[in-house]
Structure 1
Amino acid sequence: MSGLTGVIAGLALAAQQAPPPPDPAAWWSPKVQRPSSEVEPLYGRRLGKAERPIPIDHGVEPLLYRLWGLQPLQSQVLRKGELILEVWARPAGDVRQAVTRLTLRDDGRAFVQARAGLGCCAPEIARRVDINAELDRASAETLRSVAADPVWSQPRSVIVDYGGGAVSALCVDGVSWDVTLLIPGQARQLRRACDDAEVGSIARILTTALGPTIGRDPRFDAIFPRGADFSRQAGAYAALIQSGGRLIPGQTSPPPAATLPPPPSPAAPEAAPRP
């Protein structure tokens, strides 16, 4: 009996010495650890009083970005000399999707954030694959030249006219693409169906985006059997132009906006890099 009494006394003492339950309010005010630049290249930026968000109408809502583990493109704040190139790939007849975002900062550093996953059948993005990495200097310089590419003067959406009339593309095989370029104060969007000539018109941009991304995770690579090789599509576009064909604006395509400014200049050598 004395043993049982001792056990009960010990439990009572332990209960008295147990730490108090955590304050529920602390759940909503945790310390936020600063993410690395690979995860969030533009972390902590806010619009100034005289600044306004850049209008972006590419069909991706801010909350959808959160599901993919990305900051919404609509909330990204760019400084002079910076840009973001974002590419969404949607294979026809498949629930797999992929998004690749390249960010060039004013200190000369560039980063890739890429995601792949299943875009249906679950409340979240199922089987999500995340890639967050810094790009090498050569890839950063290639990215810097993207803003000067004449592709941004093309209509947002197009129809292929092979010379005998225009025919809207119907994607039953292949990949359709949504491409967005963001620079300070401006955004450009291009949408291309899976027709080879359509895709070939933006082949350089797709290679720039996927080139430094492919090879970092085989699960991501599996969505792109040809990797960053768009030579077939580029050839189809060249053949279209040589044969007298053309790309004409789609029915819902707005007129091209004003010409983009020159590409950003390299950062000054004395610019202090940020973590």
Structure 2
Amino acid sequence: MSKIIDFQCTYDNSTGISKETIQQTGIKFPEAYKNWDSMAQLALAIKEQDNASFCQLPFCHTLEGEALGGSITYGDENIGPRVKDYICTTSEEILSLPEIDYSKGRISETLKACKYLREKGENVVLYISGPFTIMNVLADPRHIFKIFRKNPEIMQNIFDKLQKEILKFVMEAQKSGVNMISYGDSVGGLNILGPKLSEQVVEMFTYPLFKKIEETLNDEAIMLLCPKTTFALLGTKKAVWRDIDIGTPIGYGQGCVQVIGKTKFVGQMCIKNKAFQLKNGIIKGIDLL
């Protein structure tokens, strides 16, 4: 049995989009969630509002699912994009979904916004979702967990399909100049899956994915792992910590930028915790075994 430690997601200290920010920028919704220029404008406004050291895109966790064919409601300034209807009820339907076309749709607009912000000199965090978060857009989670428990070989096929999509998304992000790629899968956390299935996810999906990302990630980008993912890798003895001395106390986000090229992975804290300080000047890299 694995010894995976759970991480409580209580560190999202962004205040959301304030009415003052919306009024000052004149941003319109839902266009802000769909067009690259509005996305970039909103990302800059949120960065300034939160006094952050980086811009963040996208503003939801439905991007990949929508690009695979998911049905999405875009929402407004109060409620962002979310699932409208599930489009799959069987594993066959999930496996038959077409590959993501990164040249069209909201996922293309997101990459354009990232490129624009990077060309303006901004550090950009691109949030990429894990398999259960993606599938949560496509199918009722009860169907997914049933497949996992009763037909692990079919689940492996689904994992393989999504692994290819995530790996390609990482590659497309690098082409757009993204220097900070955040990975999380809260829907597939220990608190939801339990220890046994969580260990299986690491073996079947997470570890193989990150070994491939390790090979493709260039020295101008870094992967920021959700601590839930970090502790899953550590708990299954697939990774170890490595201390990197930055030399001075610094904010976690700034520290992540400073160690680009010195490690492929970090993940001791949620990147959304903008107040977290590396008080001893040490950031922990993650080395895969």
TM-score, normalised relative to structure 1:
0.27
Q: Larger C-alpha radius of gyration, 1 or 2?
A: 1
Q: TM-score, normalised by structure 2?
A: 0.26
Higher strand share: 1
